[in-house]
Amino acid sequence: MCGIVGILGSKPVAEDLVEALRRLEYRGYDSAGVATVENGHLERRRAEGKLRNLETALRAEPLTGTTGIGHTRWATHGKPTVRNAHPHMSAKVSVVHNGIIENYRELKAELTAKGHKFESDTDTEAVVHLVTDGLDNGLAPADAVKAALRHLTGAFALGIIFAGHDDLMIAARQGSPLALGHGDGEMYLGSDAIALAPFTDRITYLEEGDWAVLTRGGAEIFDRAGHRVARQIIKSSANSLLVDKGNHRHFMAKEIHEQPQVISQTLAAYIDMAKSAIDYPDLGIDLGDITRVTISACGTAYYAGLVGKYWIERVARVPVEIDIASELRYREAPLPKGGLAVFVSQSGETADTLATLRYCKAEGQRIASIVNVRTSTIARESDAALPTLAGPEIGVASTKAFTCQLSALACLAIAIGRAKGTISAEKESELVTALAEVPRIIAGMLTDESPYEELAQHLSKARDVLYLGRGINYPIALEGALKLKEISYLHAEGYAAGELKHGPIALIDENVPVIVVAPEDELFEKTISNLQEVAARGGQIILISDAEPELAGCKLAAYIRVPHAHAFTNPLVYAVPIQLIAYHTAVFMGTDVDQPRNLAKSVTVE
């Protein structure tokens, strides 16, 4: 969720800390700060809002220390103010923290009783005073941190520096990702490899419960029990990733236009194009023996999983249970031994999804994950990781990651169907060929966005917007409503079209736009019947379809023509117009498209 960086350098680090934080802006944040060791004591600069405000503070009062930590914060405890911005510090310790310290109230009460004075509303400050308390009692920095970690409950990634220790930084990870970077006489700390890419491509990922003592000469890593452990140094490819907008106004626009390429890349990982057949990697799981699939995810990834449910049940004839990750774990769902649990996450670090993965593993499930970051915690804790090759997705509202997740799920459905003998070789070839055509279809759709620009002006005047879809396109209606909410801040809701008369129809009048996702498939006529119910009540109908608009049988406020595609691939194809509707509406309304308010890219707290 938030972003952490740390540098043990050979020159002043403040400027490099800010640049590293800039590479983490895609996570979302509402304040930022840095702290350094300055001639033996600790100094920090913090600011509300964007990094440019922090840069202004640093120009006014420069920092020259060669040891420092930095942070971009997304508020969980306390308002997004300077006093609550990280780093938090005492005279002896400065801390940056991602996650939530769940028992901070108890810790704060105990430490306050000892005379410690808290200056912020955050949970993080409890860590500062807990470590400081250890130092006050004569412990060395590493021992003070080790003792403090035993008292912390929750999910956290920590970066800690100390007054009087210019060649020391301590990192700890429990439930939130953290990576170490190895340089030449320098060491680095970051939430992910992207932040460290300008400095090094030699990365060590801390495992769950690890903590590390960094000096310029290297790192000593310890496990939860305090035993020294060896963790692999891998060569990261993050430094080759170009994280810029190119010729586009926003990252979201760039990522929408990258979909033909990244969908092709993802499909190529699972399809033998020459044979028009699935070429699925060995998952260590016999797909033919699967009796039930459990899918879990959050947000947009959940809607991808919901499409996956339709695909797997229809193609492979295997029952699928799907639930939001934050719900499945806590309702203690009974799971069949030997079942397959599939987890979908762009970052591979989503806290709710990771917690549910561990629940399913404890229940004897085989674990497969569909992730965009192969080195992520979810990927590492899975029996099989199925990568989506979307590349870095900087816009907070997911676009290309969503369609790549759909691509991987479509291939999984076909692979299970083939393994169970529910589809013939001819049917497999038909479905694979249809998938292979998707990038070309989407590329054609992206050549003219003028209909969306016109529609945006119309939607910007609405107070409420409804999305309708049937069957496998119902999740696309849900995703369309989510996208519009996320970046335009308009209230929008998605419904199964058949549910319209069971309540939502009460909301419809002449001021309510109703966006209908209606490909000309076996459910088209039923969807049109629902559309006419809207028309009878004066609703403003916006039809997204490959059917001729006359077939609607009523007046349309707008019509978005979509190229005809195989019914199996319609969710991939129809994802694009609902993304463009949200994007152009947000642009017209002047909102922060790439970093919408209150949202974060990687949600690493429950």
Q: Give 244's pLDDT tier (boundaries 50, 70, 90).
A: low
Provide the percentage of residues in the chain whose pLDDT is more than 90.
60
* 260: preceding bond cis by omega (within 30 degrees): no
User: Looking at residues 299-324, what average pLDDT do you find?
Assistant: 95
Torsion sign over Cα 249, 250, 256, 262 = positive
- Among all residues, which ones are annotated catalytic? 2, 601
Residue type, 54: L
* CA triple 451-455-459, angle to 5 deg: 165
Q: Please give the pLDDT value at position 243.
A: 57
Q: Both tokens of residue 283?
A: 């998952």
Q: What is the largest CA-CA distance in the chain?
A: 81
Is the per-residue pLDDT at 500 higher than 80?
A: no
- Pick the range with the lowest mean pLDDT from 250-259, 473-482, 580-589: 250-259
Asked whether the beta carbons of 467 and 478 are under 8 A apart, the reply is yes
Q: Please give the pLDDT value at position 326.
A: 85
- Helix, strand, coil percentages (3-state) for the chain, rounded to 5, are 40, 25, 35
Give the dihedral of Cα atoms 280, 281, 286, 289; nearest 10 deg: -30
User: Looking at residues 472-490, what average pLDDT do you find?
Assistant: 94
What CATH number is given for 450-589 in this structure?
3.40.50.10490
Provide the percentage of residues in the chain whose pLDDT is more than 70.
96
Q: Please give the pLDDT value at position 26.
A: 66
Is the per-residue pLDDT at 606 higher than 80?
A: no
| SS3 of residue 234 by DSSP | strand
Asked whether the beta carbons of 28 and 595 are under 8 A apart, the reply is yes
Q: Both tokens of residue 599?
A: 């949202």
Residue type, 339: G
Asked whether the beta carbons of 260 and 442 are under 8 A apart, the reply is yes
Q: Please give the pLDDT value at position 240.
A: 46
Q: Which residues pair with 174 in a beta bridge?
A: 156
Q: Give 242's pLDDT tier (boundaries 50, 70, 90).
A: very low
* CA triple 251-252-258, angle to 5 deg: 90
Rounded CA gap, 371 and 404, in Å? 9
* 67-99: pLDDT as tens digits: 999 999 877 678 889 999 999 999 999 999 988
* CA triple 13-15-19, angle to 5 deg: 110
Query: Phi and psi at residue 453, in whole multiples of 5°?
Result: -65, -40
Domain boundaries, the chain: 3-240, 251-444, 450-589
* 100-155: pLDDT as tens digits: 787 888 999 999 999 999 999 998 999 999 999 999 999 999 999 999 999 998 77
Rounded CA gap, 342 and 370, in Å? 7
Is the per-residue pLDDT at 605 higher than 60?
A: no
Task: Say whether domain 251-444 belongs to CATH 3.40.605.10.
Answer: no
* CA triple 425-427-432, angle to 5 deg: 95
User: Helix count (H) and strand count (E) of the chain?
Assistant: 18, 27
Alpha helix positions (H), 85-204: 104-113, 124-136, 141-149, 193-196
* 250-307: pLDDT as tens digits: 989 989 988 887 888 888 889 887 788 888 878 788 899 899 999 999 899 999 999 9
DSSP code, position 130: H
Rounded CA gap, 519 and 577, in Å? 12
Q: Please give the pLDDT value at position 27.
A: 66
- Note whether 251-444 and 450-589 share their fold: yes
Rounded CA gap, 603 and 606, in Å? 8
Sequence-separated (6 or more) residues with CB below 8 Å from residue 113: none
Task: Say whether domain 3-240 belongs to CATH 3.60.20.10.
Answer: yes
Q: What is the 3-class SS of 395-418, one letter each residue?
A: CCCCCHHHHHHHHHHHHHHHHHHH
Q: How many residues does the chain have?
A: 606
Rg over CA atoms, the chain: 25
Is the per-residue pLDDT at 310 higher than 90?
A: yes
Residue type, 327: E
Half-sphere exposure of 508 (CA within 13 A, CB side): 25
User: Hey, which bits of 206-291 come out as E strands?
Assistant: 211-215, 218-222, 228-229, 234-235, 271-272, 277-278
Q: How far are the Cα atoms of 142, 222, 370, 574 from residue 207, in angstroms, in the given order?
A: 18, 10, 20, 39
Pick from 198, 245, 219: nearest CA to 15? 198
* 333-363: pLDDT as tens digits: 888 887 999 999 988 888 888 989 999 999 9
Q: Please give the pLDDT value at position 603.
A: 54
Whole-model pTM: value is: 0.77
Is the per-residue pLDDT at 161 higher than 60?
A: yes
Q: Please give the pLDDT value at position 53.
A: 96
